[in-house]
Structure 1
Amino acid sequence: MPTQLPDEIHNQIVLLSKQGDDLAQKGDLEAAKERYIAALRLLPEDHIQWNAATWLYVALGDAHFRTGAFDKAHKCFINAIQCPDGLGNPYIHLRLGQVNFESKNLGRAADELARAYMGGGMEIFMEDDPKYLEFLETRITV
């Protein structure tokens, strides 16, 4: 397997991702999701081997999370964790914890939120609803 994507494909992925990010920032999450999916489709077979897959799955998962599509968000973050530098990434574990919390899978939520806390400290929780950190505090001493 090559170590880098061809420039043309890489540039298309970066462009689609930026468009998705801009749309997400403006609140058009459905259009953002379409851009992220289009970018993922440009990756060669065995796409989870590529670095781009990690951040594309995270971006797509975030969009699903923000729209309350927790099952789809969960699938995206599970995919992201299998991609390069996914396992152990505090942000991915944070989102997995939040998705599991929202899905009432509290044991798994506590585990993932603890991983996020261990990797990213309390700061990683500061931009989200305090309920996630409050929940984690009921499970471990932070």
Structure 2
Amino acid sequence: MKKQDEMDDALYQEIMQYCEEGDTAVEEDEYDSAIHAFQQAFDLIPEPYQDWEASTWVLFSLGEAQFFNEDYIAAKESLTAVMHCPNAIGNPLIHLRLGQAQYELGNFSKAKDELMRAYMGQGEEIFDGEDEKYFNFLKQEVDL
């Protein structure tokens, strides 16, 4: 098995191309197209996907697009899977999105845990204006 830093250049470029398509689609609020592009990128990552750093940002991007598309179940699944990938645990943005998905699904205990991890990693600024309801929820749950 090749190591993570030895991913074939052509494969890496193909993954990047799909991710760029996904990023563009997200910017245009075309979430179905973004999800499709990120899924195509993820499908190219060799197994076990947990060994590849590319999985971290591809799965996060997929989960974020699913969250923006209000498919909270799929977002929770993608963002939970990303936690098994390199450098995901402790990443405030990943914890924020997973906490938001958990909140929207009514899993408030899990939401509180993930949102607190986001807060601990980056402070109040991780909750920008659109995420204020999640910060207000967290403030109600813990003494901040």
TM-score normalised by structure 2 residue count: 0.94
Give the structure 1 partner of residue 33 of structure 2: 31
Give the structure 2 partner of residue 2 of structure 1: 2
Distance change (3 Å), C-alpha of 1:5 and 1:127 = farther
Give the aligned CA root-mean-square deviation in angstroms.
Answer: 1.0
* Structure 1 unaligned regions, length at least 5: none
Aligned length: 142
Give the structure 2 partner of residue 86 of structure 1: 88
The residue type paired with residue 7 of structure 2 is L
* Structure 2 unaligned regions, length at least 5: none
The secondary structure found in structure 1 opposite 2:130 is coil
CA deviation after TM superposition for structure 1 residue 129, in Å: 2.8
1:49 has 2:67 as partner: no
Give the structure 2 partner of residue 133 of structure 1: 135
CA deviation after TM superposition for structure 1 residue 141, in Å: 2.3
* CA deviation profile, 1:20-65 (whole Å, cap 9, x unmatched): 1001111111111111111111111101211111101111101110
Once residues 90 and 127 of structure 1 are traced to their aligned partners in structure 2, the CA distance between those partners, rounded to angstroms, is 16
TM-score normalised by structure 1 residue count: 0.96
CA deviation after TM superposition for structure 1 residue 128, in Å: 2.8
The residue type paired with residue 2 of structure 1 is K
* CA deviation profile, 1:40-91 (whole Å, cap 9, x unmatched): 1111110121111110111110111011110000001001111000111111
Give the structure 2 partner of residue 75 of structure 1: 77
What is the percent sequence identity of the aligned residues?
36
Once residues 36 and 103 of structure 2 are traced to their aligned partners in structure 1, the CA distance between those partners, rounded to angstroms, is 26
Give the structure 2 partner of residue 124 of structure 1: 126
1:40 has 2:42 as partner: yes
Distance change (3 Å), C-alpha of 1:122 and 1:82 = same
Moved over 2 A (4+): none
Once residues 57 and 130 of structure 2 are traced to their aligned partners in structure 1, the CA distance between those partners, rounded to angstroms, is 19
